[in-house]
Amino acid sequence: MKKEQQCENCSMRAKYDINPKSLTGRFWRWHINFCPGWNRYIKSIDEDSRKLLCEKYKLKQNKYL
């Protein structure tokens, strides 16, 4: 399995989606700010999906262009 695909099914991401204020959820949100795997993943998806993720996780869209 490619690393880009692991981000889509990440258990920490799922925990963030369930409870963003949990310790694991907050750690995952902090971690994606510098994670090379996340950066590759988000740059590999189509522009519409990228925009939706940026809105959902309150990310700076211009960082992922």
Domain ranges of the chain: 3-64
Computed over every residue of the chain, the mean pLDDT equals 89
Give the chain as a 3 state SS string. CCHHHHHHCCHHHHHHHHCCCCHHHHHHHHHCCCCHHHHHHHHHCCHHHHHHHHHHCCCCHHHHC
Contact 28, 38 (CB under 8 A): no
Indicate if the pLDDT at residue 14 is higher than 50.
yes
Q: What is the value of pTM for the model shown?
A: 0.82
Give me the pLDDT at residue 13, please. Answer: 95
Per residue in 31-63, pLDDT (tens digit) is 999 999 999 999 999 999 999 999 999 998 777
Q: How far is CA 22 from the centre of its chain?
A: 16
